[in-house]
Structure 1
Amino acid sequence: MKYSGQVLYSLSGVAVLFSALSCSGKKEKSAKPYNIVYIMTDDHTAQMMSCYDTRYINTPNLDRIAADGVRFTNSFVANSLSGPSRACMITGKHSHANGFTDNTTCVFDSSQQTMPKLLRKAGYQTALVGKWHLESLPSGFDYWEILPGQGDYYNPDFIRMNNDTVQRRGYVTNLITDIGINWLENERDETKPFAIFLHHKAVHRDWLPEIKNLSLYEDKIFPLPDNFFDDYNGRLAAAAQEMSIAEDMDIIYDLKMLAVGKESRLKSVYEQIIGRMTPEERKAWDHFYDPIIQDFYSRKLSGKELAEWKFQRYMRDYMKVVKSLDDNVGRILDYLDKKGLLENTLIVYTSDQGFYMGEHGWFDKRFMYEESMRTPLIMRLPKDFDKKGDIPQLVQNIDYAPTFLDLAGVPVPEDMQGIS
C-alpha cells in the first residue's frame, strides 16, 4: 500500500527518508555515509512503551529515541506473524512476493534480493545478531550470529557463521547487545559505513524475565481493558482464536505456576525452558515463585476472578521483560554516543508486530484487529535532519528496506513494493 501525496527532497541528489521529513528539516548532507542501527523486538506492542502510552510502563531509553527523533503514529506491519513480518522487512515486499507466508510451512529463500545484500554491495558492512526465524541461514551479512528458532531466554544457544552452535551463559537480551557491541567495537572495518540489525527475542511468549528483575512491578495493579470480557457478539470467528487469556493462557507455561501434582498442556515445554537455568538462577526463581504458587492454588480461583488474576500476572511478566529490553537500548545509545557515532547514525526501533494486552480478552497477535497490525516505530535521525516529533503518515514495514537504501544513496529496485 502506497500512500498518496509523497514529497521527496534531495540531499546531493539522493532522495532520503520518509516524505514526512520535509524540506524544512533539510541541512547540508554529511560527508560520511550514514550508519544504520536497526533494533527489532518480537511482540512489543506500542501501548507498552511510555513514549506511546503512559498507563502501564516507563521506558526511559526508548523514550530517548522518540524525544531526540521522530515517532510514527500510524505504523503497521504487512503480516502480523514473526517470520513473515521479518521477510517483509528485509525484502521490502509483501509475503506473496517474497515467498515466506507462514511460520510453519515456509523456508525463506536466502538467495533472493534483500536490503542488507544491496547495502553490502554498495560498500556497507552488515551484521545480524539475534532472532532470524526464517528457517534458512542468513546471507548478505559480513557477520551473523543467530538464535535457533525462537531461541531461549536463559543461557541460550547461538548458531554462528561457521555453522557451529554454542551456548552462551546469560540472559538473552543482554547477550544480543553484548555481541552487537563487540562487533561494533572489535570486528568491523572502521573505514566503512555499517548497518547492524539487532533482533531481540524479547518480548516473546512466555515472558521470562531477567532474574534480577523478578520482583519488579509486583505491587502494580493494571486496569482491565474496557473490552476485556468481550462477548464477540456478531464476531463469532474471533471467539474461535486460541488467544484467550481466560481459556488459552497456560497456567504453567505462561504463568509459571509449576507445582507437584499440577498438570497443563505445555508443562513439559516449560520444564525444559527453566531447565536451562544455572542452579543459582533456579534457586532465586523458586524463592520468588514458591509463595505465589502456594497462594494461587490455595485460592481455587475460577471464572472471571481467574481471568483477572491471569491478566495481572501476564502484565507484570511482560513489563519485566520490557525492562531489560529498555536497559539494553540504553546501552546501545550510550555506546554510540561514547564512540562519536550517534550523530551520523540512523537508529530505528520497532517490533515485528503488535500484541494484545488484554484487549478483547486476548494475548498474542493472530487475529487481524488493529492491536496486532499496528506496531511501534521510532527513529533517531542523523544530525543532517532537523525533523523531530510525530509523523502521522501511514507506513508499513515493507517501507523500511527502500528507506534504508535511499538513506545510503543506493538505488531502490523497482520490484520493491515499499517506498522510501
Structure 2
Amino acid sequence: MVITKSRLVLGATAVTLSTIAVTSLGIHSRGQALFKASPKELVDEVWQIVQRQYVDNTFNQVDWLAVRKEYLNKSYSSQEEAYKSIREMLKKLEDPYTRFMTPEEFKNMQVDTSGELTGIGITISQDEKTKQLVVIAPIEDTPAFKIGILSKDVILKIDGKSTEGMDTNQAVSLIRGEPGTKVTLTIERNGQQKQFEIKRARIEIHPVRYSQKQTTIGKVGYIRLNQFSANAGKEMQQAIRDLEKQRVNGYILDLRGNPGGLLFSSVEIARMWLDKGTIVSTIDRQGEQEREVARGRALTNKPLVVIVDKGSASASEILSGALQDNQRAVLVGTQTFGKGLVQSVRPLEDGSGLAVTIAKYHTPSGKDINKHGIDPDVKVELTDAQRQDLWLRERDKLGTLADPQFAKALEVLGKKIAGKTTPTAEKTQNTQL
C-alpha cells in the first residue's frame, strides 16, 4: 500500500462521508492549493491516479488508455467543464465508490475529528446494480434515526426531486443544510413508499456506549459501538478497562446499525479482543495481500458475543469477521450489509478531491463478503415493525431481555461462560422472531 492507513476508508462509508458528513476520514488536506491546475491538467491528474491505484487492473473491462486520449483531446475553457468530463470519465468504471468531488463537496466531506456534524444522521450508499441511493444505517439518536429511517431504505426523492440518475455528490447538495431547516425524503421500503420530513441538526457523536448489567449469568459488560471514527479506539479501550475493573464475566458487543468508518480503527479495536491471528487481508490490483494481525495485547480474554444486523457494514464486518473466523466470538443476529471495498481519498491540485477504490478486503478465512455480508452463527430475525418498536418507541428495552437479539446473545454468552459450547456448535440454531 502506498497510502497511509489513516487515509483508508471502507466501501460504504466512503460514500457515506461525502454524502451526509457522518464521520472523520483522518485526511490531511493540502488546504489552499499552492497553484490552480489548468482544467486539462486536472483531468489528467484524475486519470493518472486511477491508472496507478484502481483495484481492477482491467478497469472493469474499460480501455483506460483510450479514455485518456478521448478526454485529453477535448478543449476546456473552465474548471466546471473539466469537472463534468471527470465525472463522465469515472462513470465508465461503473464503480459508485470511485467518485470526484468539487472543492465545496470535498470540504463538506472533511468533518472535524471531534465527532460533531451537521445533518440528519444517515449513512447512504449507491447500489452497484440498480444505482439507487440506499440507506446503510441511521446513526443512533439523530433526527433520521428518531423519525424512523431504517437500513436498506431506498431514497426515491429528496424534497420532491427524483433521485433517478443522481449520484451521491448531487444528493449531498440537496440533503445537507443549516440546523433547524427541514428536508423531505421519499423512501421505498418493502415495495411501499413512505415520506419523512426531517429537521436538520448539529449532532455530537460518541461512538462507544457501555454499561455493566446484572444478569442470571452474573455481571455482563454490554458495549454498543456506533461507528469507527478516529476516537472510537480510545473510547473502546476505556470501556473494556472500566468493565474489567468491575469484574464482568463476559461481554456482549453490539454492532447493529454500525455503518463502518476508518480501516485503522477497526484493526485497532480488533486487537483489543484478539491476542493472536489475522484480522483482515487487503488485496490490491496485483493480488498482493497486506495482512493486519493481532499483536498479543488483548485487553481481555473473557467470553464474547457480537450482535450484528443488516446495518452492520464495512469496518463492522471486518471486526465481526475477524472475531468469528478466529473463534473469538459467536455472532448473533442477521446477515450483515456486505461492503468489502477500500477507498483512498485524495486532494487534487485545485482543492477538489477524488475517492478511488484501491483494494478489497477478505476476512481471515479468505471470505470476500462484498455484496453478501457475513452470516451470523446464530440467526435471530426481527421484522421492520419489531425493529422500529425496539429502536424508536421502546428504547429502554434495547440491550435488555425484552430485546430478542440481546436475549439470545445473553443465552449464548451464558453457555460460553459455562464452557458448554463453542462458536461452531451454535451454527445450526436458527431463531425466527
So what's the TM-score if we normalise by structure 2?
0.22
- Between 1 and 2, higher relative CO (CA 8 Å, sep ≥ 6) is seen in 1
Q: In proportion to residue count, which structure has more strand?
A: 2
* TM-score relative to the length of structure 1: 0.22
